[in-house]
Amino acid sequence: MIIGVLNQKGGVGKTTLSVNIAASLARTGKRVLLIDADPQGSALDWAAAREGDPLFAVVGLPKPSIHKELSLVGEGYDHIVIDGPPRVTDLARSAIMASDVVLVPVQPSPYDIWAADEVVKLIQEASVFKENLKSVFVINRKIANTAIGRDVREALEAYDLPTLEASVVQRVVFAEAAAVGKAVYEQDRDGVASQEIEAVVSELQECFA
């Protein structure tokens, strides 16, 4: 499965999700590749901060030819996760065309909900050329026990994309793990944050595998 994690708005947690989804898939013994398609290179920075053996391979490919090069770069891998760029560009279009499933993280704020319009349009354009392309929202960096956290799911119904039942709450442990190049499950194996990532991955696999 090739999962593209994209949203044209920065700061929605694309890299955090990408890294932890890749780590979750790698935990099962599968060969996983994380492609950092963001010119900022945050996933590469995460990999560089890690001490010890890597959980999975990480390569930088911030070029609008991802969909053309993927068959070579991704050869031999069971799953590929693409950490997309934070703007609607040819690079984002290429990442979408390379994906089987586009995961669109959205924070529970009106600005993020409005901004989702751009990436939804991009996915719709790509679907003309790639009929089997799947796409779904995931609520990320949710603030527990707030009205906006509950209402965002209803607001996203305005778009022609489903929303995963699983969601991820904003927690300090994600930043703590990232700072040392670890996945959240390594930092807190049985913690709630790890369980939330596992729920997202499980739902993705059930719906789109």
- Per-residue pLDDT of 11-21, as tens digits, reads 788 999 999 99
- Domains of the chain listed by start with CATH number: 2-201 (3.40.50.300)
Sheet with 32-36: list strands edge to edge: 57-60, 32-36, 79-83, 2-5, 101-106, 134-139
Q: Element (H or E) spanning 90, and its range?
A: helix 90-98
Q: What's the pLDDT band for 72 if we cut at 50, 70, 90? A: very high
What would the pLDDT profile of 146-174 be if each residue is shown by its tens digit?
A: 767 678 888 898 898 999 999 999 999 99
Q: What's the pLDDT band for 111 if we cut at 50, 70, 90? A: confident
What pLDDT was estimated at residue 209? Answer: 67
Task: For residue 1, give the 3-state DSSP assignment.
Answer: coil
Q: What's the pLDDT band for 194 if we cut at 50, 70, 90? A: very high
- Residue 69 neighbours by CB under 8 Å, 6+ apart: 61, 63
Angstrom distances, CA of residue 3 to CA of 144, 146, 150, 182, 200:
26, 29, 26, 20, 12
For the chain, the average pLDDT equals 92
Q: How far apart are CA 174 and CA 29, in angstroms?
A: 23
Q: How far apart are CA 78 and CA 36, in angstroms?
A: 17
pTM exceeding the 0.85 threshold for the entire prediction: yes
